[in-house]
């Protein structure tokens, strides 16, 4: 095992070694409160009481269409997220029922995604490789394609560029992996049928297929190609940061993230605002205690992970930005539970 699977396995092993039960198929129906303090949870099979409090760490609400439409910018869709199907905001809703405050509900751990027939593909390295350009419905470039994925989707919404189009050429396809496919490997016919990918022998024909102004697309690509040959992106500075270059092609010069689009056929790939999960949730203090709107705590109630509002706000520190805070504030929550019960005793 490696990466996230290794972490999950290590946590599971820790639970097993301490004989901690894990109740599968047990959805949270609500919180049990006595004398103003959270003392347990309600499940379909009854109430489970706790001695020290309840820590809500049930993920975000990326698969709750009603909540997404209520709190987030349109267009938005639960079909664009790669989050777990069970992340329907149960923990957040339970906190709201007790008067908890929320924050950052309009935001998510965004990432430009391709709406493929089998589900969304989170587009990461492909955007930094040389020979791709993002355009909006006007055929105009609007972002540094290699930007951190949260920032890239913020730009999509801020400029009204939903959906956007990733334009690449055959040179790009001959050289690089794309959405799990090897170089030169034909794109599946079902992707074309789903309207996720279009192909044409000229940029003008491609523009007609995706319904963007052909002259605008041609000018955008012409300007981008000039930047690529010079190695300097004067509009959005693609390839200047260490982050950009990390996923670029070090063999490509003078800029590892820039190459002209010249070799037919040309491809247009639909880009939508996908995500890894939502970022908003219950507002908490430094001990992960859930807060009311007036800043007071709800006794016995804690939150961590995507059930809580992200500690880093609208920014994104990098890969693992959900895992580190979840583990840290989960730990701090338990320390506070122990400290509080000892003080009461």
What span, in angstroms and rounded, lies between the C-alpha atoms of 262 and 130?
12
pLDDT of residue 4: 84
Please provide the DSSP assignment of 115-129 as one string: EETTEEEE--GGGTS
Q: What is the three-class DSSP state of 33?
A: strand
What span, in angstroms and rounded, lies between the C-alpha atoms of 327 and 311?
12
Residue 86 has pLDDT above 90, yes or no: yes
Q: Which residues contact 213 (CB under 8 A, 6 or more apart)?
A: 138, 139, 207
Mean pLDDT, rounded, of the chain: 95
Mean pLDDT of 151-168: 97
Least-confidence region, from 116-120, 193-197, 316-320, 321-325: 316-320
- Please state, in angstroms and as integers, the Cα–Cα distance from residue 185 to each residue in 109, 173, 174, 182, following that order: 30, 8, 8, 5
Percent of the chain whose predicted confidence (pLDDT) is above 90: 93
- Please state, in angstroms and as integers, the Cα–Cα distance from residue 131 to each residue in 186, 233, 252, 267, following that order: 18, 13, 10, 11
Question: Considering the entire predicted model, what is its pTM?
Answer: 0.89
Residue range 250-287, pLDDT digits in tens: 999 999 999 999 999 999 999 999 999 999 999 999 99
Strands (E), the chain: 30-34, 37-43, 46-49, 54-56, 102-103, 108-116, 119-122, 132-135, 164-169, 197-200, 266-278, 281-282, 289-291, 297-303
Residue 79 has pLDDT above 80, yes or no: yes
What span, in angstroms and rounded, lies between the C-alpha atoms of 47 and 11?
26
- Please state, in angstroms and as integers, the Cα–Cα distance from residue 67 to each residue in 59, 88, 328, following that order: 14, 9, 27
Residue 343 has pLDDT above 80, yes or no: no
pLDDT of residue 239: 97
For 231: left if phi > 0, alpha if psi spans -120 to 50, otherwise beta; the answer is left
What span, in angstroms and rounded, lies between the C-alpha atoms of 280 and 169?
38
Residue 84 has pLDDT above 80, yes or no: yes
Residue 345 has pLDDT above 60, yes or no: no
Residue in this structure with the two tokens 């189009």, named with its chain if needed: 165
pLDDT of residue 75: 94
Q: 205: which 2 tokens?
A: 């024909």
What span, in angstroms and rounded, lies between the C-alpha atoms of 280 and 196?
29
Percent of the chain whose predicted confidence (pLDDT) is above 70: 99
What span, in angstroms and rounded, lies between the C-alpha atoms of 304 and 284?
8
Residue 342 has pLDDT above 90, yes or no: no
C-alpha 66: how far from chain center:
19
Q: CA torsion 185→198→113→314, rounded to 10°? A: 140
Residue range 205-254, pLDDT digits in tens: 999 999 999 999 999 999 999 999 999 999 999 999 999 999 999 999 99
Residue in this structure with the two tokens 């004067």, named with its chain if needed: 234
Q: Which residues contact 108 (CB under 8 A, 6 or more apart)?
A: 60, 62, 72, 81, 153, 275, 276, 277, 278, 279, 280
Domains of the chain (ranges, CATH numbers): 3-107+279-344 (3.50.50.60), 111-274 (3.90.700.10)
Distance between terminal CA atoms of the chain?
43
Residue range 98-152, pLDDT digits in tens: 999 999 999 999 999 999 989 999 999 999 999 999 999 999 999 999 999 999 9
């Amino acid at each position: 095992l490696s990466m996230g699977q290794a972490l999950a396995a290590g946590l599971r092993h820790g639970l097993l070694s301490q004989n901690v039960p894990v109740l599968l198929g047990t959805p949270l129906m609500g919180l049990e409160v006595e004398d103003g303090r959270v003392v347990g949870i309600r499940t379909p099979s009854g109430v489970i009481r706790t001695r020290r409090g309840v820590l809500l760490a049930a993920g975000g609400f990326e698969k709750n269409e009603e909540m997404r439409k209520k709190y987030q910018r349109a267009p938005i869709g639960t079909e664009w997220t790669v989050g777990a199907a069970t992340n329907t905001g149960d923990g957040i809703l339970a906190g709201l029922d007790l008067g908890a405050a929320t924050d950052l509900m309009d935001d998510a751990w965004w990432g430009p995604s391709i709406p493929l027939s089998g589900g969304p593909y989170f587009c990461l390295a492909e955007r930094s490789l040389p020979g791709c350009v993002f355009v909006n419905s006007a055929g105009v470039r609007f972002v540094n394609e290699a930007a951190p994925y949260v920032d890239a989707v913020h730009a999509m919404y801020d400029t009204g560029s939903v959906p956007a189009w990733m334009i690449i050429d055959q040179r790009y396809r001959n050289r690089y992996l794309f959405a799990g496919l090897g170089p030169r490997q034909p794109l599946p016919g079902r992707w074309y049928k789903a309207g996720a990918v279009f192909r044409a022998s000229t940029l003008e024909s491609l523009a007609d297929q995706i319904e963007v102004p052909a002259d605008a697309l041609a000018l955008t690509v012409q300007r981008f190609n000039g930047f690529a040959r010079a190695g300097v992106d004067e509009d959005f500075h693609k390839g200047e940061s260490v982050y950009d270059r990390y996923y670029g092609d070090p063999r490509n010069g003078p800029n590892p993230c820039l190459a002209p689009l010249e070799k037919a056929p040309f491809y247009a790939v639909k880009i939508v605002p996908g995500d890894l999960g939502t970022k908003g949730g219950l507002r908490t203090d430094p001990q992960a205690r859930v807060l009311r709107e007036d800043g007071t705590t709800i006794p016995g109630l804690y939150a961590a992970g995507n059930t809580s509002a992200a500690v880093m706000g609208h920014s994104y520190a990098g890969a693992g930005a959900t895992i580190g805070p979840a583990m840290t504030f989960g730990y701090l929550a338990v320390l506070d539970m122990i400290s509080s019960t000892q003080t009461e005793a």
